[in-house]
Structure 1
Amino acid sequence: MSDAEASQNRIDETTTWPDLAISLYDRLTGRNAEITYAFEDMAVDVPSGTGEDAEHAHWRLDGTVRVTTRERE
């Protein structure tokens, strides 16, 4: 199976947002692609660990995250 076919299979089997992001990044890597995420007043509670008693840090995101890929020569 080629890399392109494997990438397409991962996209076809995606069931979660993180899996979708990983598949998209894998597919675009090496193609001079740029992925831009823009956040407007996004709040995230980041757990300190797994389990019901984990403490959470409250993060606020307001801005842009840009991921750029390019082939190495």
Structure 2
Amino acid sequence: MTDETAPEERIDETTTWPDLAIGLYDRLTGRNAEIVYEFEEMSVDVPSGTGDDVEHASWQLDGTVRVTTREQD
């Protein structure tokens, strides 16, 4: 399998959340698809950098993220 293979023809093992989101978007683009993520009282600790001595900001998510795909004319 090469990098030139179309996304819909690839069957890869997804190992990260960003890879999963990219894969879903690639497969749904052009199909008038919609991806909806709903969060209820979700807490995410976002690091200020990398390493052992980083500080974290706590983000609270409560709502909906909606991604819609469509083909351009």
Aligned residues: 69
Higher share in helix = 1
Across the aligned residues of Structure 1 and Structure 2, the Cα RMSD in angstroms comes to 1.4
Q: Distance in 2 between matches of 1:32 and 1:56?
A: 38
Percent identity reads 75
Unaligned stretches of 5+ in structure 1?
Answer: none
Residue type matched to 2:71 in 1? E
Which sections of structure 2, spanning at least 5 residues, go unmatched?
none
**TM-score computed with the length of structure 2 as normaliser:** 0.82
Note if 1:57 corresponds to 2:57: yes
Find runs of 4+ consecutive structure 1 residues off by over 3 angstroms.
Answer: none
What's 1:39 paired with?
Answer: 39
Query: Residue in 1 aligned with 2:14?
Result: 14
